[in-house]
Structure 1
Amino acid sequence: MALRSLAVLAVVLVALSQAASVKPWLDDKFNTDGNVRTGYDVSGQQVVTLSLDQHSGAGFNSDEQYLYGEFSIQMKLIPGNSAGTVSCFYLSSGDGDGHDEIDMEFMGNSSGPGHPVVLNTNVWVNGDGKKEHQFDLWFDPAADYHTYTIIWNPENILFKVDNLFIRSFKRFAGIPYAGSKPMRLHATLWDGSYWATEKGKVPIDWSNAPFNVLYKNYYANACASGGACHAGSDGWMNRQLDGSEWGTVKWAEQNYMRYNYCADGYRFPQGFPAECSRY
């Protein structure tokens, strides 16, 4: 029994030592709002928990503004019935009518077969955000951490899940593009009952609250709004998809796409947005 206690103590001490050696990225780079908790996993990585209850959601927002960059984070979503909740990882220039924004939004489900978590990707340019591609995730995002990545450069905006690219939003001549407004990085968890699950038909069941989403391993290699870029920016600044990466995009579209704004004639009775005919 004493040996077992010593072994447990040794593991705890190692974890504490690792935690002390890891720079706490949340405190160093972000401000917080609402129900936010921090801790460390057994490898010493800082874990940030956002919680949602009937009184408050939660979020963290970068102190720095960026103009182009590569941003990624690992997330572990809400297990069980998460219908009506929305957890996000996104960039935004602000809340004004003419703002730009790049979204990865995870819309909760009712749990069980036939109710996959939906990932909504969207790009807002000058306040126009009707550019959604939505995908049913092909894994359980609450069972383990998965990595979600946004690459934003002057040529295109790329969305990546783990090692698979699922979308490229390209820049075309004569069509507005998110390339002039600096953006902050945000992560939020909030009540989206009015639209998130089956277009608002399934509200949050507050008896399951609080709802928790875990974030860790935040990474950014980006250009600050003043123009200075981190070393290694050449790895993403001109990044575009090659043939095999376009193959994973087509795989995601054919097997897991739930919604494509370029196929929504009801929403665009006067014709689809101009970029839809250029892909």
Structure 2
Amino acid sequence: MARRSPAVLASLALLAAVASSADSWLYEKFNTDGTVRTDYDASGQQVAMLNLDRSSGAGFNSKEQYLYGEFSIAMKLMPGNSAGTVSCFYLSSGDGDGHDEIDMEFMGNSSGQPVVLNTNVWANGDGKKEHQFDLWFDPSAAYHTYTIIWNPENIIFKVDGNVIRCFKRYSDLPYPSSKPMTLHATLWDGSYWATEKGKVPIDWSSAPFVVSYRSYSANACVSGGSCPAGSGSWMNKQPDDAEWGTVKWAESNYMRYNYCDDGWRFPRGLPAECSRS
């Protein structure tokens, strides 16, 4: 048997430690569904890859449920023609009529067209609160970080550290505040809805479609348990003046749809929060 030098043994031990640590964010914290593969990038970070083909989509969902927190993940979307696909990072209390949900959904598009980020909030089954943005970069060329901050006062959506939306709480209006939610990442066929309101379906000749996730983090209160140390950084978080500036920048330059501008959709009047924000 060939002997290995102490330096080689140390390197192997380090790689094993990195792999063990990297594995923990997916397999210890999430259940998986469909074709989910794992690998490591050049920096040693674990990458979870979701696969979509004609037979099925894929996803992973947290074993824990949360009530408030800061959730972040880096994603690299599929290149080329991604029309009809939807890749997601979201929180949900379930599928019932009165469910709560906080969405970041990436709606694929034809080659050369921007991918659309759909943000939405559901409270007690009341949704239809979408803000949609054309991404100002190629989300398939590199990893970008997407963050949801959910606390008792507001829900903040961030892209690469930039606040692009804040959904405020009003005491007399529905807000996700009592139902614990599970964290999800999914990739699925949204041809009926995703691209140009369903006009452009998936081109299955380009399948399988793959979306990669890495660098997951959650600083959150576990349902039925205590909040972690340092939770005040997000529990009391509200956008400051500079962050409201990035919200205005995103709205002015990249907003594709704002439900508060859609009078046709709400013939009886816009939702109440639209006149207060």
1:205 counterpart (195, 203, 206): 203
Residue number in structure 1 paired with 2:98 = 98
Letter in 2 for 1:164: N
- 8 A Cα contact 1:31 1:63, kept in partner: yes
Offset at 1:67?
0.3
Q: Does 1:175 align with 2:147?
A: no
Matches within 5 A, 1:248-259: 248-259=246-257
Deviations along 1:24-76, one digit per CA (max 9) or x if unpaired, are: 21011000000101111121111000000000100000000000000000000
Question: 1: CA distance between counterparts of 2:59 and 2:32?
Answer: 6
Letter in 1 for 2:111: S
1:165 counterpart (163, 166, 170): 163
- 8 A Cα contact 2:87 2:187, kept in partner: yes
RMSD, aligned CA: 1.6
Letter in 2 for 1:232: G
2:219 counterpart (218, 221, 233): 221
Question: 2: CA distance between counterparts of 1:238 and 1:23?
Answer: 31
- Consecutive unaligned residues of structure 2, counting only runs of 5 or more, are 1-7
1:196 counterpart (194, 197, 202): 194
Residue number in structure 2 paired with 1:237 = 235
- 8 A Cα contact 1:24 1:46, kept in partner: no
Deviations along 1:176-212, one digit per CA (max 9) or x if unpaired, are: 1110100000000000000000000000000000000
Offset at 1:275?
0.3
2:153 counterpart (140, 152, 155): 155
Q: Does 1:76 align with 2:52?
A: no
Matches within 5 A, 1:42-81: 42-81=42-81
Aligned residues: 268
* CA distance 1:209–1:271, shift in 2 (3 Å): same
Question: Which of structure 1's runs of 4+ aligned residues deviate more than 6 A?
Answer: none
Residue number in structure 2 paired with 1:146 = 144
Q: Helix, strand or coil: the match of 1:251? A: helix
- Consecutive unaligned residues of structure 1, counting only runs of 5 or more, are 1-8
Letter in 2 for 1:133: H
Offset at 1:18?
3.3
- 8 A Cα contact 2:126 2:174, kept in partner: no
Offset at 1:23?
4.7
